[in-house]
Structure 1
């Protein structure tokens, strides 16, 4: 089979730019941010090994079978866990808006774990894929990777429905919740029937971009005057750490700020606020 890498290479460029934009900024250690960064890592792993495994499979005679099994296994594992991490990101995102009954953890984790075991056993069983003198072959249970993907898509759709009904979202956020999984539905269908075109990473990058601009864009969480994290960031963080137990916080108020703004001017007051923020960051780097 002749593979076409144009879409995958374009997706790699977008992924690199997105990593530069998102990883260079400071994020609070909350579940949503953790899963988004993990999702970027899983997408990077999947994209790289999608290209590498496809190229090596096309020239299988040049490589030992053990290496071919290794790169294909890495791709399939990335493919599986990328779906799980995307669902986990949406779950954390919806949970930030308010309490709801989560899906049982065994139900959420079991499909990814079982599918991973089948993939790892393929060198012995050939159930998901196999490699012989004629090259790569799909196994009897190959389509389990799509069953796994559609399972997590279904959970994402259910979570989006629950979140949209129970909690408040602005129009962009509503469109993002629906648009991200809608793009993935189309992407998986295209991949099933156009396997020679490595397009799934492009659909996934589009879904991630939709999520990024609606929920992860640093400009949403940064106060423009001071460069500090703002109220929109503090609220989910305080709610999340409150669920873990007791914690301590310090609040600093500026007396007569409005009058000072009128007396000294907005530019001068903003300069004073930046000085306070700079001091606090230097004095409490771990907070």
Structure 2
């Protein structure tokens, strides 16, 4: 997926398919960015079918940003298409809910319903596993995420060492994105020795955000039950590009496997 910069604080990517188009946004959706985005999009073309919006990487949205989202919504309705807000950052949901217009409130309500995961039964187990993974590696940076099968996203339930803006950016991660999303997609660990050049990060907004921490290396380990259900993800990070020794990988894999054995087994 190719990301393009619209303005310094907003990037977008657009994928086209026979049945739907998917628009991804990352950054801040303010008045200037919203106007540029509106001008850049081939609205009549993409809105004629099903349009899926992924706003999980939009960490700021004001009234002008909501106006653009509503313009897309009405354009799709007028041309016989459909706009679906698949996933959105909490900042976007708050802006939609505050807007007051019925369509904006309904977009927020429907999106929140899709994303709602509640208190995951294995949240505490994943938190404990993350702590053990940090002790095994000597790292001070880590995350634990739960898997939302309906939305096909990972959601952070605990983290260590990351500033608030980075946690906000990675509030949810879609399947296939970053190392954790790729590990979720393939049900297999992903080892990254250098974030900047890795296919999961190169050219994406995530690489810029992690560079500010900094994060140079990461290993993401899916937690899977004996019935092959994905429960969540444990990720450990190093500040500099680093090798992950074979024995360390083995211990981390054993930890993830053991955590999956103890996890709640869906019916």
| TM-score, length-scaled by structure 2 | 0.26
Higher RCO structure (Cα 8 Å, ≥6 apart)? 1
Larger radius of gyration: 1
Q: Could you say which structure has the higher strand fraction?
A: 2
Higher helix share: 1
